Amino acid sequence: MKIAFFDAKPYDIESFQKTNEEYGQEIKYFKGHLTADNAALCRDYDAVCTFVNDDLSQEVINKLYQNNIQLIALRCAGYNNVDLQAVYKKIHVVRVPAYSAYAVAEHALALMLTLNRKTHKAYYRIRDNNFSINGFLGFDMHGKTAGIIGSGKIGRVVISILNGLGMNIIAYDKYPDKSLEKKFNLNFTDLHTLYRKSDIISLHCPLKKDSFHLINNESIAKMKTGVMIINTGRGQLIDTKALIRGLKSQKIGAAGLDVYEEESEYFFEDFSGKILSDDTLARLLTFPNVMVTSHQAFFTKEALHNIAHTTLNNIKAFTENKKLENEICYRCGRDECHKKKYGRCF
């Protein structure tokens, strides 16, 4: 197939070029995001390969369909940027449901430990020959309560890691697997209880209508004073303005964010010589107890290899008219039901 590959970074190109030696697909790399303005670039291609910040709205989908695009190959797990109604019976959409749960879970832990023990600040202080430890007071994570929202592949690895630190684990999942309670020494509970009891809250749930702004003024009010919030999921799980209010009032003790709800303009790009026009993001970055990373939780050698392999394998399955194991199902918005019954959505 001829594939138009958008939002191509040097590490993407290197990883896909190496993996594509096995598949032999024809790939053209474009640096920019896919948008309505550049969708015409896809005119001579069969498929597009996109990432989390590419625009797959109805307008863009319609243009892709008019240009005879048959397949959208997402090289990520989330698909909240895809208008599923617009692609229905027009374009198949496949994703990478699992690339490395360990990568994301370990990054969540890194954010927790860094915010707690202030190692990022210690690094710079020592380089200035300042050996004072004033302001670096942390807390023992052992014995504290961690609330995990979402107990899928990533959530389970986080639970396992925090168990190793001797934390008490409570979890919320819309579809809880009770067998995990004994296996991981955790207790499933409701969101109200999780907010009330947790010293650290870590988000590992998908972004859907019922999880949009899950962390908001109301939920923050229920939390312990001084709670730490970690988000390596999707930016729109958190109402950023509510988070800022919680930080200002000191209800929230720390926040570690690998994602931001309006990240598409900034994340993965270099703005080091420019002034941020996003006032909310700029305000967030002024807090000494906030750590923001640029959607890098997935960014390990193993994850990049798995992303490239799964994406190209999805494309190969499509070209060979085989069952699409990772197709997003338009019937249920997931990729489970057609896997068992249908094979393909249309």
| Residue spans in the chain of domains classed CATH 3.40.50.720 | 2-99+301-341, 101-292
Q: Does domain 2-99+301-341 have CATH number 3.40.640.10?
A: no
Asked if residue 227 lies in contact with residue 211, where contact means CB atoms within 8 angstroms, the answer is no
Asked if residue 206 lies in contact with residue 233, where contact means CB atoms within 8 angstroms, the answer is yes
Cα–Cα distance, 239 to 232 (Å, whole number)? 14
Is 309 an active-site residue?
Answer: no
Asked if residue 331 lies in contact with residue 337, where contact means CB atoms within 8 angstroms, the answer is yes
Read off the pLDDT of residues 230-288 as tens digits, 9 standing for 90 and up.
999 999 999 999 999 999 999 999 999 999 998 878 888 888 888 889 999 999 999 99
316: closest CA among 12, 26, 5? 26
Is 213 an active-site residue?
Answer: no
Please provide the distance, in angstroms rounded to a whole number, between the alpha carbons at the two ends of the chain: 20
Residue, of 332 and 299, whose pLDDT is higher: 299
Catalytic residue selected from 33, 204, 295, 338: 295
Determine the pLDDT at residue 203: 98
Neighbouring residues of 58: CB distance < 8 A, sequence distance ≥ 6:
83, 85, 86
Choose the weakest-confidence range: 49-58, 120-129, 161-170, 335-344.
335-344
Catalytic residue selected from 156, 204, 234, 309: 234
CATH architecture assignment, domain 101-292: 3-Layer(aba) Sandwich (3.40)
> Residue 336: which pLDDT band, with cuts at 50, 70 and 90?
low
Neighbouring residues of 21: CB distance < 8 A, sequence distance ≥ 6:
none
**Residue 334, pLDDT above cutoff 70:** no
Q: What does the longest C-alpha to C-alpha distance in the chain come to?
A: 65
Is 234 an active-site residue?
Answer: yes
Catalytic residue selected from 263, 309, 327, 338: 263
Can you spell out the DSSP letters for 260-327? -TTGGGTTTS--TTS----HHHHHHTT-TTEEE--S-TT-SHHHHHHHHHHHHHHHHHHHTT---TTB
